[in-house]
Amino acid sequence: MRLSQAFQPTLKEVPAEAQIASHRLMLRAGLVRQTSSGIYTWLPAGLRVLRNIANIVRQEQDQVGGQEVLMPTIQSADLWRRSGRYDAYGPEMLRIQDRQGREMLYGPTNEEVVTDLFGSTVKSYRELPKVIYHIQWKFRDEVRPRFGVMRGREFYMKDAYSFDLSYEAAVSSYYRMMLSYLKIFRRLGVKAVPMAADTGPIGGELSHEFLVLAPTGESEVFYDAGWDEMDWESMALNPQNEADLQKLQNLVKETYSATDEKHDLTAWEAVPEDRRRGGRGIEVGHIFYFGTKYTEAMGVEVNGADGAAIHPHMGSYGIGVSRLVGAIIEASHDDAGIIWPEDVAPYRAALLNLRPGDETCDAMCESIYSCDPEGLLYDDRSERAGVKFNDADLLGHPWQIIVGPRGAKNGMVELKHRATGERSELPLDEALAKLGLR
RNA sequence: CGGGGCGUGGCGCAGCCUGGUAGCGCGCCUGUUUUGGGUACAGGAGGCCCCCGGUUCGAGUCCGGGCGCCCCGACCA
């Protein structure tokens, strides 16, 4: 993308409403604009990040057998009456009426829709287990939206639902999903620790939240240093292997972690003092096992091998995709701006032409740009070098390819790594090779 | 939902107490200048002062009501 043609506004000054780093940076870098309290428009760069995250989530969910669908945002109240949650959910649910006066709602979650969908299509035990998920906008009328997209009212969420024939199978699905989540967060470049959690209005008995550690997090967390030390790559747990899932389950049992609401002082005392870790965390995922709560309430059953009806056991698994944009920034930024992990960055590199109009610089930039017009943000504006440097740091692309008259006439470009600040001057070909552009 | 605060060009703010020509910085446009970390100078555009009502000769300013937004707390991907 050529920056001169992009819809990419950056702000020099910080809008007064933004209090925390990620919110300030998202506004300054032109990722989002607020349209009303807790509701945002995503601008091109922000949308790219949102999609990158969603794609990683999608790949990993497919990897563990997830089937992607797209359920609606608007749901009927009747469906929620069948589960008994229409009255239970409270004012957080946005309730609306259509022109016939029918009661509708903007979905805060999708257990009802998915359970109904499943029940109306799946009739035999042979079709289980199933994992159905979608990535869709949700609305929860929060009492107090804040922190930008971290606690918006409208938010983008991946929610998956598992259906199993037995408790044991459902627990396997639960830990398989946990494994998938651990991998997702690793790929997103954040450290998220699963912590014992309350089940809230979704109900159920087994539940973990995934928390990204950050000082601005809303929950207080307590965990065993073991979580910092686990080497998931070399453990290579296979989600399709029951023994590996058991291993994970044991690790979770043996390695303490909890948010303040589930904090267990007795168990905490058992953790050696020098291994106790605490802090604040941002909840970016939440998984639940809640058994037959919805399948029973909504009368969903399949036939077993012996012909007897079985209420499938369910779990639900959420990842706050839009919240993750904020959480990642919260965990990865400096005074100059955002520092994107490679896989979520809106562009893999910024290409800075320090002197547009200079024949050598222009020619070199054009040849670099043509390698990957989609993945490079080419700053071809007639701005001063300082402006370009500052904007590039603010936007936080993993790399900056700096082309100035000094080096260009010798066929050299400068490469700056945003995360380390490291700069090196390289011949053009070497630089391209290093970034995988050639 | 309880407590606090704020609404004035795109952004950050002053002006309000003590009513009388709507201001500053940044950004934007034009020109010159500068050319490796937000350059300098000159000229210029841009404002239902959140809305409604009241007081007054006169309201951004005072009074009443409403709306919006933010912050702190209790609640949640």
What is the CA A414 to C1' B60 distance in angstroms?
A: 53
Give the model's pLDDT for residue A214: 86
Does residue A146 sit in helix, strand or coil? Answer: strand
Which nucleotide is closest to A356, CA to C1'? Answer: B35
DSSP-derived letter for residue A242 is H
Identify how many contiguous H helices and E strands chain A contains and give both numbers.
16, 23
Beta-ladder partners of A160: A133, A317
What is the CA A11 to C1' B10 distance in angstroms?
A: 10
* Strand B reaches within 7 A of the A60 CB: no
CB < 7 Å to strand B — which of 131-150 in chain A?
A: 140, 142-147, 150
What was the ipTM of the complex prediction? 0.91
Task: Dump pLDDT digits (tens) for A259-282.
Answer: 888 888 889 999 999 999 988 999
Nearest in space to A81 (alpha carbons), one of A100, A104, A97, A101:
A104
CB < 7 Å to strand B — which of 366-385 in chain A?
A: 383-385
Mean pLDDT by 10-residue block, N- to C-terminus, for chain A (438 residues)? Answer: 93 84 93 92 96 98 97 94 88 89 93 94 95 96 90 95 96 96 95 84 76 87 92 93 95 91 89 92 93 93 93 96 95 94 96 94 96 96 94 96 94 96 95 93
3-state secondary structure A27-51: HHCCCEEEEECCEEEECHHHHHHHH
- Domains, chain A, with CATH or none: 3-337 (3.30.930.10), 347-434 (3.40.50.800)
CB < 7 Å to strand B — which of 273-332 in chain A?
A: 283-286, 318-320, 322-323
CB atoms within 10 A of CB A424: 12
Give the model's pLDDT for residue A117: 95
* Strand B reaches within 7 A of the A396 CB: no
Beta strands in A37-168 (DSSP E): 39-42, 66-68, 74-76, 94-97, 103-106, 130-139, 154-164
3-state secondary structure A174-212: HHHHHHHHHHHHHHCCCCEEEEECCCHHHCCCEEEEEEE
| Per-residue tokens: A344 | 């979520």
Which nucleotide is closest to A211, CA to C1'? Answer: B77
CB < 7 Å to strand B — which of 161-190 in chain A?
A: none
Which nucleotide is closest to A149, CA to C1'? Answer: B77
* Strand B reaches within 7 A of the A88 CB: no
What distances in angstroms separate CA A90 from CA A4, A79, A87, A142, A213, one per listed residue? 48, 16, 7, 11, 30
- Rounded-to-integer distance, Cα A173 and Cα A170, Å: 5
What is the CA A319 to C1' B13 distance in angstroms?
A: 40
Task: Dump pLDDT digits (tens) for A7-64.
Answer: 999 998 888 888 889 999 999 999 999 988 999 999 999 999 999 999 999 999 999 9
What is the CA A153 to C1' B48 distance in angstroms?
A: 30
* Strand B reaches within 7 A of the A36 CB: yes
Amino acid at A281: G
- Rounded-to-integer distance, Cα A34 and Cα A37, Å: 7
Positions on chain B within 7 A of a protein C-beta: 1-2, 10-13, 25-27, 34-39, 68-77
What is the CA A13 to C1' B61 distance in angstroms?
A: 28
